[in-house]
Amino acid sequence: MKITALLVLKCMPEGADPIILANACDVSHFGFFQRSSVREFIVFVSRTVAKRTPPGQRQSVQHEEYKVHSYNRNGLCVIGFMDDHYPVRSAFSLLNQVIDEYQKNFRESWRTAQADSTEPWPYLDNALTKYQDPAEADKLLKIQRELDETKIILHQTIDSVLARGEKLDSLVEKSSDLSAASQMFYSQAKKTNQCCSIL
């Protein structure tokens, strides 16, 4: 359930290597000495995948224990490195969001980029941390989860209502017994009053 990196690349036409426009990596779970090599590895793999993603397509590639999801939209390609547990649909919805946000922020300025840009883009970093939980990214998943919780609560409610029904049944029995007993009591009292007044 982990996102390791999110990148936005510009796909060059005709086979040249794509250019990185924004990069957010979370390599904290690697040892200190491996971090730079992991970053380079991420960069390399993302370039490769972006080069091989045709425009207007989504793609998911399995690499060792990561899944790399890429979405290419009109030359702007956004790539996410996630682990196997991350649901694919949430991954793609997250990529959609990122690419929309990027286009909103940068309009078309990325088209003129020629070299890897190294400025950090805060939105991407925020997104990386915020969307570690797939439910955040995917509203459908969130709704489904909440609905399931509601269903569980309702089941419990129905159980307690049934228990309440049982208690009410026992109460009704007891109250009817009580009413019968009180009736007998009344008739007995009346009898003792009536018949022995001679003596």
Residues 15, 16, 31, 65: which binds another protein (CB under 8 A)? Answer: 65
Decide: is 40 part of the binding site for another protein (CB under 8 A).
Answer: no
Residues 37, 40, 148, 156: which binds another protein (CB under 8 A)? Answer: 148
Decide: is 67 part of the binding site for another protein (CB under 8 A).
Answer: yes
Decide: is 74 part of the binding site for another protein (CB under 8 A).
Answer: no
Contact 44, 58 (CB under 8 A): no
Question: How many residues lie near another protein (CB under 8 A)?
Answer: 57
Residues 36, 126, 150, 156: which binds another protein (CB under 8 A)? Answer: 150
Whole-number Cα distances in Å, 38 to 29, 33, 34, 45: 11, 9, 6, 10
For 47-71, b where at least 16 C-beta lie within 10 A, e where not — what string? Answer: bebbeebeeeeebeeeeeebbbbbb
123 or 131: CB nearest another protein: 131
Binding to another protein (CB under 8 A) within 88-147 occurs at: 88-89, 92, 134, 140-141, 143-145, 147
Sign of CA dihedral 87, 90, 92, 98: negative
- The candidate with the shortest Cα–Cα distance to 69, out of 80, 55, 84, is 80
Query: Closest distance between another protein and the C-beta of residue 77, in Å?
Result: 14
Distance CA 144, CA 125 (A): 27
Residues 13, 28, 32, 62: which binds another protein (CB under 8 A)? Answer: 62
Identify the bridge partners of residue 5 per DSSP, sorted by sequence position.
25, 81
Which one-letter amino acid corresponds to residue 113? A
83, containing H or E segment: strand 76-83
Residues in touch with another protein (CB under 8 A): 1, 48, 52, 54, 57-65, 67, 84-89, 92, 134, 140-141, 143-145, 147-148, 150-151, 154-155, 157-158, 161-162, 164-165, 168-169, 171-172, 175-176, 178-179, 182-183, 185-186, 188-190, 192-193, 197
